[in-house]
Amino acid sequence: MHSMNAITASSDTSRADHRQSQVANRLAQALSQGKLQVVYQPEVSLFSREITSLEALCRWDDAELGQVAPDEFIAVAEARGLIVALGEYMLRSVLADLPWVTQRWPEAKVAINASGLELALPDFAQRLRASLASTDIGLARHLELEVTESVFHHNVPVVNANLMSLRELGITIAIDDFGTGQSSLSRLHTLPFDKIKLDRSFVKALQAPMVQEIVKAMVQLTNTFSRTLVVEGIETREQLHQLVALGCHVGQGYLLCRPGALADLPAQIAWPQA
Ligand code: G
Ligand code: MN
């Protein structure tokens, strides 16, 4: 009985290992051949409907594996030593797109997601600065870096030093998927940040009075400290109206705009009136 379980478990493990190796090999190739796409999803002012930020998101449609979900290939990149290459790929793509973005949306920022593994490297900020300098250091004020609360699992002094160097350059810091990580509130005051992106799970549960109170508290907290609150995962008009009523100013989600190629994004967002 035990040995049967052991056999099943080990064949599951080897199948998962095999998939991971396959994804890692193909991903390394895709990165060196420029085969990943970058799409952008706006963050939108819920009052003016203007685009305040564009979040760069990676998409991968592989010739052999087909579409691979970002959750899967990012996890593989982290496990197999490809996350720095992936981060640099995204940065290069974004820097190439930035002149065009700033022409079209002069006030908007472009946000890139960084893994805690990257932030824990002592030379992260230095390398980012060097890439910027070789393009145009003035672009720094148009860049935002999104990090999740999982950075707390890494070397916090190094992470903080990186974040502070980036902020000195004019790059803003957003805490992504806020509310899902560990010890988020207790560590919040130790992290330099400009923006909180409230995880979409709060919007999903918005009917619950307790969740509405949490959203209100987050609005108040961010207002008090002059930080921006962005609510993620807005999918319905009911959610949008409820969030506006709770005092939220900026949102992101499929109702407002799906991720898309830069050329396909509207200058301003239109959504149906109630
Ligand atoms: O972790 P992060 O928030 O950066 O993840 C962004 C991912 O969330 C993207 O892959 C994007 O396609 C997805 N996403 C964006 N808006 C919505 C939404 O309204 N609902 C859901 N379920 N997913 C969304
Ligand atoms: Mn993000």
What are the tens digits of pLDDT across the range 32-59?
999 999 999 999 999 999 999 999 999 9
**Ligand 1 pocket mutation pick from 232, 234, 240 by most atoms within 8 angstroms of CB:** 232
Q: How far is the CA of 176 from the centre of ligand 2 (A)?
A: 5
* Whole-number pLDDT of residue 67: 98
| pLDDT band (50, 70, 90) for residue 267 | confident
Q: Is the CB of 113 under 6 A from ligand 1?
A: yes
Q: Which DSSP symbol is given to 179?
A: T
Which residue's CA is minimally distant from atom 16 of ligand 1?
Answer: 253
Phi, psi of 231 (to 5 degrees): -100, 125
Closest approach atom of ligand 1 to CA 146: 4
Indicate which residue's Cα is closest to atom 3 of ligand 1. 177
**Residue 3's pLDDT band (boundaries 50, 70, 90)?**
low
Tens of pLDDT along 144-198? 999 998 888 888 999 999 999 999 999 999 999 999 977 667 788 888 999 999 9
The values of phi and psi at residue 91, to 5°, are -60, -45
* Residue 43, SS3 per DSSP: strand
* Contact (CB, 8 A) for 118 and 87: yes
pLDDT band at 199 (very low <50, low <70, confident <90, very high): very high
- Which residue's C-alpha comes closest to atom 7 of ligand 1? 57
- Give the pLDDT mean for 129-140: 94
Instruction: Please state the atom number of ligand 1 nearest to the C-alpha of residue 113.
Output: 4
Please determine, for residue 1, whether its predicted confidence score (pLDDT) is greater than 60. no
Three-state secondary structure call for residue 199: coil
Tokens of 12: 């599951």
pLDDT digits (tens, 9 = 90+) for 218-249: 999 999 999 999 999 999 999 999 999 999 99
For residue 235 and ligand 1, the question of a CB distance below 6 A is answered with yes
Q: In this structure, which amino acid lies at residue 109?
A: K
179 lines ligand 1 (CB under 6 A): no
CA atoms within 13 A on the CB side of 47: 4
pTM, 2 dp: 0.93
- Mean pLDDT, range 259-264, rounded to an integer: 95
Q: Of the ligands numbered here, which is closest to the C-alpha atom of 53?
A: 2
- Ligand nearest 147 Cα, by number? 2
- Residue 211 belongs to what H/E stretch? helix 209-224
What pLDDT sits at residue 183? Answer: 61
Is the distance from CB of 201 to CB of 179 less than 8 angstroms?
A: yes
Cβ contact 38:60 at 8 Å: no
Tell me what percent of the residues of the chain surpass a pLDDT of 90: 84
Average pLDDT of span 239-265: 97
* Whole-angstrom Cα Rg for the chain: 20
- Please tell me the distance between residue 224's alpha carbon and the centre of ligand 1 in angstroms: 27
Question: Bridge partners of 146?
Answer: 113, 174
